[in-house]
Amino acid sequence: MLSPPPRKLGVLLFDEFEPLDVFGPVELFGNLPKHYTVSFHAPQPGPVTGAIGTTVLAEHPMGEDVDILLVPGGMGTRRHIHDEEFVGRLRQWGLNTPLVISVCTGSALLAAAGLLEGYRATSNKRAFDWAASFGTNVQWVRQARWVADRDRWTSSGVAAGMDMTAALIAHLDGDDTSRTVCDMVELEVHHDPTQDPFA
């Protein structure tokens, strides 16, 4: 019996994205090539400079068909959240994607794009009140390492994205697969999404 094709993970990049929001999850997904392929997307394909001077080549535009859309946080969210074209493109992309996930203040972008209406969600605790000011029908959960609500998964700040990713891999591909990749990168994860020492 043939194995299903790998799920396509599309990672949204923008100026001043937070590197660990991206590369924490990508480290886990990318070490499971039979399960996931990873592509980087930006409003305009080309080099994108994140926080601390990290520059990544995004070879794909926003909006391409993917199975999972990952939206990171970072200081760049503060500027892009007021960019109507960017937010509109994100909304259309998210509506056409089976599973949308975010790390840190990426959830604020999702909320501004209307992609969290009717969902539970969380965000970085240091920016929680700011993130929670977006959206009109979002149930923001302050004490949560991550929140999984149907086809929307959101995590707390930065490193919490790796805990969420490990849980998501377990959800999609089984506990053994998640445990194997976490052991591979020597990562000890939180397994309880309500365990949030930073809330």
Domains, the chain, ordered by start: 7-184 (3.40.50.880)
Closest CA to 72 of 13, 147, 132: 13
Would strands 152-155 and 99-102 be described as parallel, antiparallel, or unpaired? parallel
- The tens digit of pLDDT for each residue in 83-99 reads 999 999 999 999 999 99
Q: Say what the pTM is.
A: 0.97
Quick one: pLDDT at residue 41? Answer: 98
In the chain, count H helices and then E strands. Answer: 7, 11
Q: Read off the pLDDT of each residue in 164-188 and give the average, rounded to a whole number.
A: 97
Q: Is pLDDT above 80 for 30? A: yes
Q: Read off the pLDDT of each residue in 169-182 and give the average, rounded to a whole number.
A: 98
Specify the range with the lowest mean pLDDT, choosing from 52-56, 105-109, 128-132.
Answer: 52-56
Q: Is pLDDT above 70 for 1? A: no
The CA distance from 50 to 68, in Å, is 21
| Average pLDDT over the chain, rounded to an integer | 96
Are 77 and 57 in contact, with CB atoms under 8 Å apart?
A: no
Quick one: pLDDT at residue 82? Answer: 95
Quick one: pLDDT at residue 140? Answer: 98
Are 70 and 22 in contact, with CB atoms under 8 Å apart?
A: yes
pLDDT-derived band at 21, boundaries 50, 70, 90: very high
Rounded percentage of the chain residues whose pLDDT exceeds 90? 94
Quick one: pLDDT at residue 2? Answer: 77
pLDDT-derived band at 4, boundaries 50, 70, 90: confident
